[in-house]
Amino acid sequence: MRSENLWRVALVEDWQAGGFGLYLHWPFCQAKCPYCDFNSHVSARIDEVRWTRAYLSEIDRLAAQTPGRMLQSVFFGGGTPSLMSGDLVAALLDRIRARWILAADAEITLEANPTSVEAARFRAYAAAGVNRVSLGVQALNDGDLRRLGRLHSAAEAREAYDIARVTFSRVSFDLIYARQDQSRTAWAAELVTALGMAADHLSLYQLTIEEGTAFGQRHAAGKLAGLPDEDLGADLFLLTQEMTMAAGFAAYEVSNHARPGQESRHNLIYWRAGDWGGIGPGAHGRLTLDGQRRSIETIHAPGDWLRQVETVGSGESAQEIVAPLAHVTEVALMGLRLTEGLDAVRFARLSGGRYDHNIAYLTDIGMMERHTGRLRVTKAGRPVLNAVLSRLLDN
């Protein structure tokens, strides 16, 4: 009983090492991309009045569970949140400001697709309080954009980026690489262009083929030609790291690159194993409540989520207590994705030193290192991060 009480004391304090954020999921898109396995849906008609009431209700419910906390970030993800009206975004942010203490430097991000960008709509988001936009550009040539099922052209992506730059203080955009028939030379040229455009942040993801997607079905049927082999994929990853570092966009996480001080604060809450509330169909949350860390899921299907919020007063579908060892595993799995690594004292306190031998071994073979009170993966260990994590957490 005493050890359980000590764990609860440590856990109550632990989430503060990562911070507190709020994620709002807007599940609707203009079209479903063939590589996407997110909870996104195409709908001909959306009743924004009903959806606004439901989101406001969920904000109130979540705020009642987390009184007095300072909110450091809000993230509108999707789906395509840039399909939301400015009035809807303003209503949600007004309620959020009324229910929590908002940090003076709170980051409020909204994901956008170039096809849904209008200058007037962006101005409305900025007036509502959005101060950071993340654009889903994905490629800078029309041929690959068509292959990826995107509805915008490269010219529209550049125009959307230009509008965002004059509207918001911070802008990020995403690109996918290791695409079909993409050579090292072609990716290097595209990355030069991207780095010339980028102001403060880039997210660069290798194309992955997920089950249940259109690409997954084509790949299983042998109809997705030109994908890079493992060696070329590794080569493209290393090239990406070298070029972004040289341009001043260091990788602070495996797929995320930023100028110093421009890292995504919301995503850092995930990677530092903080607390966040998840609102909307299919959103996930991690909240420390009553001395217990809880994993929270919401109803996946948009219509079902909306009806349950209206009838029951909660969009949750499941809530599970995260066991102490599972939390330690999460801290390691997420934290070692970051270039900064793990706080060594925090990890030792949570794990009780059970992985010290593994850390010593990985350090001896050059896969991990200790630096200014932190545990981190070395440059040699980063390309084989999954293997390093497996060895670290081997009991």
Q: What is the pLDDT of residues 4-63, one digit of tens each?
A: 454 455 555 688 889 999 999 999 988 877 777 677 777 768 899 999 999 999 999 999
Question: Hey, what are 336's tokens?
Answer: 């070692």
Which residue intervals of the chain bear CATH 3.20.20.70? 13-270
Cα-based torsion angle of the residue sequence 239, 241, 245, 249 in order, rounded to the nearest 10 degrees? 120
* 69 DSSP assignment: P
Architecture of domain 324-395: Orthogonal Bundle (1.10)
Q: Give the burial class of 61: count Cβ atoms within 10 A of its Cβ; 0-12 exposed, 13-18 middle, 19 or more buried.
A: middle
30 Cβ neighbours under 8 A, 6+ residues apart: 42, 80, 83, 113, 115, 116, 151
Q: State pLDDT tens for residues 303-345.
A: 999 999 999 999 999 999 999 889 999 999 999 999 999 999 9
Q: Give the burial class of 125: count Cβ atoms within 10 A of its Cβ; 0-12 exposed, 13-18 middle, 19 or more buried.
A: buried
CATH superfamily of 13-270: Aldolase class I (3.20.20.70)
Q: Considering the entire predicted model, what is its pTM?
A: 0.93
| Average pLDDT value over all residues in the chain | 92
3-class secondary-structure state, position 35: coil
Question: Hey, what are 301's tokens?
Answer: 């299907």
The answer to whether 139 and 175 are in contact (CB under 8 A) is yes
Mean pLDDT of 72-76: 98
Longest dimension (CA), the chain: 63
pLDDT of residue 163: 93
Q: If residue 201 lies in a helix (H) or strand (E), which one and from where to where? A: strand 201-206
Residue 107, beta-bridge partner list = 73
Please tell me the least confidently modeled range out of 83-92, 116-125, 199-208, 328-337: 116-125
